[in-house]
Chain A
Amino acid sequence: MTPLIADSEVGETDPFLASFDTFEGEEMASSPPSWLRPFRKAGLSRFAELGFPTISDEDWRFTNVASISKLPFSPMGKTPSAGADRLSLDILPFSGVPVHRLVFVDGHFAKDLSRIGALPPGVVVTNLAAGLSDPSLELEKRLGKLTQDSKNAFGALNSAYFTDGGLVIIPPGTALGGAVHLCFVTTSSQAGASTNVRNLVHVGQGASGTVLESFTGLNPARTLTTCVNETWVESEAYLEHIRFQDETLESYHVGSLHYHLGSRSRCWAHSFSLGARLFRANIRATLAGEGLECILNGLYLTRAEQLADHHMVVDHTQPNGTSHEYFNGILDDRSRAVFHGRILVRQDAQKTDAKQTNKNLLLSDEATVDTKPQLEIYADDVKCTHGATTGHLDEDAIFYLRSRGIGLERARRMLMHAFAGEIIERVQNEPLRAVLDRIVRNRLEQNPHVKVEI
Chain B
Amino acid sequence: MLEIRNLHAGIDGKQILKGVTLTINPGEVHAIMGPNGSGKSTLSAVLAGRDGYEVTAGEVIYQGKSLLEMAPEERAREGVFLAFQYPVEIPGVNSTYFLKAALNEVRKHHGLVELDAIEFLALVKDKMKALELREDFLKRPVNEGFSGGEKKKNEIFQMAVLEPKLAILDETDSGLDIDALKVVSAGVNRLRRADNAQLVITHYQRLLAYVIPDFVHVLCDGRIVRSGGKELALELEQRGYDWILSERNHTA
Contact = CB atoms under 8 A, between A and B. Distances in A.
A328 to B, nearest CB: 10
A408 B92 contact: no
A396 B162 contact: no
B71 A404 contact: no
A399 B92 contact: no
A414 B93 contact: yes
A406 interface: yes
Interface residues of A, number: 23
Contact of A405 (B51, B90, B92, B102): B102
A249 B51 CA distance: 36
A415 B106 CA distance: 20
Interface in B56-98: 71-73, 75-77, 81-82, 84, 87-88, 90-93, 97-98
Contacts of A411: 73
Nearest to B89: A397
Interface in B112-149: 141-142
B49 interface: yes
A402 B92 contact: no
B250 to A, nearest CB: 41
Interface centre among A394, A405, A422 (most CB of B within 10 A): A405
A401 B99 CA distance: 9
Given A403-B72, A405-B77, A395 B93 contact: no
Given A408-B73, A419-B92, A403 B87 contact: no
B50 A405 contact: no
Contacts of A415: 90, 92-93
A403 B170 CA distance: 14
Interface in A417-449: 417-419, 421-422
A269 B243 CA distance: 67
Contact of A403 (B48, B97, B109, B141): B48
Nearest to A418: B92
B159 to A, nearest CB: 10
Interface in B31-50: 48-50
B98 A422 contact: no
A394 B97 CA distance: 19
A295 B98 CA distance: 30
B3 interface: no
Nearest to A396: B88
B209 interface: no
Nearest to A417: B92
A173 interface: no
Interface in A380-405: 394-397, 399-405
Nearest to A420: B92
Contact of A418 (B50, B91, B109): B91
B57 to A, nearest CB: 24
Contact of A406 (B81, B102, B141): B102
B158 interface: yes
A41 interface: no
B88 A400 contact: yes
Nearest to A422: B92
Contacts of B105: 404-407
A395 B97 CA distance: 20
Nearest to B86: A396
A421 B94 CA distance: 11
B49 A406 contact: no
A404 B88 CA distance: 12
B101 interface: yes
Nearest to B107: A405
A399 B75 CA distance: 12
A79 B164 CA distance: 68
B72 A414 contact: no
A399 B98 CA distance: 13
Nearest to B142: A400
Contacts of A397: 88, 90
A408 B51 CA distance: 12
A410 interface: yes
A394 B87 CA distance: 13
Most buried by A among B77, B82, B98: B98
A429 B143 CA distance: 28
A414 B106 CA distance: 17
B72 A395 contact: no
Given A400-B88, A405-B162, A406-B105, A418 B93 contact: yes
A107 B26 CA distance: 71
A333 B50 CA distance: 27
A396 B92 CA distance: 15
B90 A404 contact: no
B92 A406 contact: no
B101 A406 contact: yes
For B49, B91, B109, B158, the residue with the greatest tally of chain A CB atoms inside 10 Å of its CB is B91
Given A395-B51, A406-B73, A401 B90 contact: yes
B50 A399 contact: yes
Nearest to B75: A403
B47 to A, nearest CB: 10
Contacts of A405: 73, 76-77, 102-103, 105-106, 109, 162
Nearest to A400: B88
A403 B49 contact: yes
A141 B98 CA distance: 54
Contacts of B90: 394, 397, 400-401, 415, 418
A385 B77 CA distance: 44
6 contacts: A402-B76, A403-B81, A405-B77, A406-B98, A414-B98, A418-B90
Given A404-B99, A404-B102, 17 more contacts: A397-B88, A399-B50, A400-B88, A401-B90, A402-B72, A403-B72, A403-B84, A405-B76, A405-B77, A405-B103, A405-B105, A405-B162, A410-B101, A417-B92, A419-B92, A422-B91, A422-B92
Interface of A: 394-397, 399-408, 410-411, 414-415, 417-419, 421-422
